[in-house]
Structure 1
Amino acid sequence: MAQLSDENLIETIAERLAETGRTLSVAESLTCGRVASTLGSGPDTKTWLRGGVVAYQTEVKQRVLGVTPGPVVSARCAEELAVGVASLLGSDVSIATTGAGGPGPEEGEPEGTVFLGWSVDGVVGSERHDFDGEPAEILDQTVRQVLERLEQLLTGGKH
């Protein structure tokens, strides 16, 4: 099966959200706004994209999005970011990024360790990825993975 382009993934995400009347929000640490910016290029975003929160520092994650104390390069943090932004912005679907983008490790995790968290109609999940490359390449891979995961979540793929 051919891999969909970013544009096709965004169009599919937009279509599924529009068909179901759901909205999307994003919480970003590692990607520092790149996911929201990428999704913002999609069709008719005013109807489905609620917004995003860039919570780069741990204090902001905790104070604004309700992340509990502990490691922030973790599945738990990714899930709490997703739940927090969905609650804050009133969205049906949310996705979050956190991780060690490099250079070097963070919180004992090697660079390239990325966690995605999501909440879809209150069902929460997360996944870990181990990406290779320079920091910019890790960010590109993370944004791509977010698009693929959203498309899967919204089209009934693997949860």
Structure 2
Amino acid sequence: MSGPGELNDDCTTEATAIARVAQTRGLTIACAESLTSGAIASHLGAAEAASQWFRGGVVAYSTQVKFDVLGVDRGPVVTARCAEQMAAGVAELTSADIALAVTGEGGPEPSEDATVGTVFIAVHHHDRHDVRRFQFGGDPSAIVHQTTLQGLRMLRSAVEE
């Protein structure tokens, strides 16, 4: 596993597959990230011909950015609803066909009554939403890696549908 902010093989493999399908199908993609702090965008942006299909992303680490920029309802942000609203918000903001969003508690201490490792990942595709809850283990770096990989896997599934 790579350190925080570094590209790693398993995530790069997913991003490469996403790039190929997005190019073939003429899809545009965006992401909104909280606990991953841009790791997903880094992998997507490094993939083949990203300028043709990757619209960009919003790193909404701050709760206020989630509310003000992505249109998330005020309240707890380690929730399925927040992930869904983040994905819809970044899709609208960037006019992307498909958007991925991640939010969760990476630690080292729990917050909002969410245990460390609680993560919600959402994919927004037109009017459809796929939101899933995960419980990842390890230190904050491991949780970020697992979230990045699972988010890219969910995004890959969405573009391959």
Shared fold by TM > 0.5?
A: yes
Does the CA contact (< 8 Å) of 1:93 and 1:120 recur in 2?
A: yes
Q: Which moved more, 1:104-113 or 1:116-125?
A: 116-125
Deviations 1:72-120 (A, max 9, x none): 0000000000000000011000000100000011110100001001101
Match of residue 25, structure 1, among 17, 30, 46: 30
Which one-letter code corresponds to 2:135 in the other structure?
A: D
- Structure 2 counterpart of 1:105: 110
Does the CA contact (< 8 Å) of 1:92 and 1:122 recur in 2?
A: no
Q: Which moved more, 1:79-88 or 1:147-156?
A: 147-156
Aligned length: 153
Q: Any idea what SS the aligned residue of 2:124 has?
A: strand
Match of residue 140, structure 2, among 129, 135, 142: 135
Q: CA RMSD in A?
A: 1.2
- Structure 2 counterpart of 1:68: 73
Match of residue 77, structure 1, among 68, 82, 90: 82
1:50 is aligned to 2:44: no
Match of residue 129, structure 2, among 121, 124, 129: 124
The alpha carbon displacement at 1:141 in A equals 0.5
Q: Any idea what SS the aligned residue of 1:127 has?
A: strand
Deviations 1:34-56 (A, max 9, x none): 11011111000000000000111
The alpha carbon displacement at 1:151 in A equals 1.3
The alpha carbon displacement at 1:7 in A equals 2.9
Correspondence 1:77-96 to 2 at 5 A: 77-96=82-101
Does the CA contact (< 8 Å) of 1:99 and 1:115 recur in 2?
A: yes
Give identity over the alignment, percent. 43
Give TM-score, length-normalised by structure 2: 0.91
Q: Structure 1 CA distance, aligned partners of 2:113 and 2:11?
A: 32
> Which ranges in structure 2 are unaligned for 5 or more consecutive residues?
1-8
- Structure 2 counterpart of 1:39: 44
Runs of 4+ in 1 over 4 A off after TM superposition: none
The alpha carbon displacement at 1:153 in A equals 1.4
Give TM-score, length-normalised by structure 1: 0.92
